[in-house]
Structure 1
């Protein structure tokens, strides 16, 4: 592919990447609108309403053969069971954290995620870290140490979000199925427990949230679109953009979440949390400079 074609491909992929991470970054504002829905119940509804959106996308993209092939392969289906459990746990932790006003902890989780991905690649995929990447990981570890001393009660949120999403990415990287077909199968696998959860809430004294009023029900149904659309945009961007560019843009989402915590949610920023964020920002600067340094380095012939 020539330089002009590569530049054109990057240009077409950039809006999709920015769109995906903007939607993920502003997700807490949507969660604020459905805050009265318990986290467990909302995750159940989110999965239920994601399935039809995914099925429509699969039909439009003519990806039924990929879905059938993944379901027919026992090993692939087994790994999708694992990834479904991981993404379900990730969604539950994130939604609960936002509802409980632990926005900074949620933001920190996704700042830590790229560093964890690098470590997982080293441990499980045999990838090697550059000197700057090791420095970035060390500084990110120092940010966790800062939280240990001043924000221990919420550290589990950050580590859970980074861990579940990091291992989710690792599993999906090793599973031969596309983003949308994979999400479709994962959602279908989670469908039965999701129905059980919403049925339990419907049977409880509080009653189900869905159906209480038209506005709340519409917002709950919107969860399917909110889940599927950014993932589709990300899938488009991942095919067209270099890893270094995508790696840089991914920090847009936790940065937006951080500033939402300062402004909309008005969460108090503790000194230990501020120190941790400063350290993670330094680590990110080193991490991103390493990515772009590798990209700009001349290729060996």
Structure 2
């Protein structure tokens, strides 16, 4: 029992580290905003695949990696997840660089509700009345913003749906998180490396052509990407899924606070209504999930 509590405590610490790190991510991407969205994205892929190759070697995962490379179905799934995570990462970097961190935080707030919605459509999962209410509230919030700003919050929607579909695809790929991420970055790395070589050939690339600080920051794109995922994986193995589910709101909450109090983004009445509706939806969704889980775990009366 004591060992279980210790493992749970370690798991919570890993989870807090992962989601806090993801929440603080905009600070890093603001620091490399002068490099440009696509160049930063390319460095993120290249340095991440190099770091993960080292970790795969360290934990001796090459047999599973090679097995996946010879499995056509797994490769197709990973090709799809690679496209989705590329869209997600690129959109996030663009959103931060464009000074729209509020929209990125909104995207990750609505992601759990989008995931529920996708599960209903593609996996045949049934929604309880309370979950329907939470999903409807989220879409009303998006509609309010769309009407007020004369257009859909595409950054938020792109992040939420790309990550939602990413989770849907990865659910069917028989690989650990970091192994899957290694193969995803490996698949896209030729394009990323080719793009960086092209920039260097044209003399417009920043790596080794700017300053030492920029070079170090670009190399850190690998750890910035891989480390929180490894921490998240460690947390998921040690604590209940419900605990991880509640902790996932840390990242967008931190991004929200950074946007308003550090980056000085304007929080309008429209933002207040939109976020308010989505937060209400999340409270209903979380409360219903907690109640349903307690009902399932309640001992049967004989």
Greater mean deviation of Cα atoms: 34-43 or 269-278: 269-278
Distance 1:4 1:286 in 2: 34
Structure 2 gaps, min length 5: none
Distance 2:34 2:43 in 1: 13
Which residue of the other structure, out of 19, 22, 39, is the alignment partner of 2:20? 22
Which residue of the other structure, out of 137, 140, 152, is the alignment partner of 2:138? 140
Which residue of the other structure, out of 215, 218, 222, is the alignment partner of 1:217? 215
What corresponds to 2:11 in structure 1? 13
Greater mean deviation of Cα atoms: 54-63 or 208-217: 54-63
What corresponds to 2:259 in structure 1? 261
What is the DSSP-based 3-state SS (H/G/I as helix, E as strand, rest coil) of the residue aligned with 1:36?
Answer: helix
Shift of 1:60: 2.2
1:213-263 superposed Cα distances (whole Å, 9 cap, x missing partner): 111000000000000000001111122222211111001000100110101
Shift of 1:202: 2.4
Shift of 1:4: 6.2
2:205 aligned with 1:208: yes
Distance 1:200 1:279 in 2: 46
Distance 1:154 1:229 in 2: 33
What corresponds to 2:76 in structure 1? 78
Greater mean deviation of Cα atoms: 21-30 or 52-61: 52-61
Distance 1:133 1:12 in 2: 31
Asked if the contact 1:150/1:271 (under 8 Å) is kept, the reply is no
Shift of 1:72: 1.2
Corresponding pairs, count: 298
Distance 2:216 2:274 in 1: 38
Residues 66 and 299 of structure 1: is their aligned pair in 2 closer, same or farther, counting only changes over 3 Å? farther
Q: Normalising to structure 1: TM-score of the pair?
A: 0.94
Distance 2:236 2:213 in 1: 35
What corresponds to 1:193 in structure 2? 191
What corresponds to 2:237 in structure 1? 239
What corresponds to 1:251 in structure 2? 249
Shift of 1:299: 3.5
Distance 1:154 1:267 in 2: 19
Residues 108 and 152 of structure 1: is their aligned pair in 2 closer, same or farther, counting only changes over 3 Å? farther
Asked if the contact 1:150/1:273 (under 8 Å) is kept, the reply is no
Q: Which aligned pairs between 1:34-183 and structure 2 lie closer than 5 A? A: 34-153=32-151, 155-183=153-181
Residues 152 and 54 of structure 1: is their aligned pair in 2 closer, same or farther, counting only changes over 3 Å? farther
What is the DSSP-based 3-state SS (H/G/I as helix, E as strand, rest coil) of the residue aligned with 2:30?
Answer: helix
Asked if the contact 1:47/1:190 (under 8 Å) is kept, the reply is yes
Asked if the contact 2:146/2:152 (under 8 Å) is kept, the reply is no
What corresponds to 2:298 in structure 1? 299
Greater mean deviation of Cα atoms: 267-276 or 32-41: 267-276
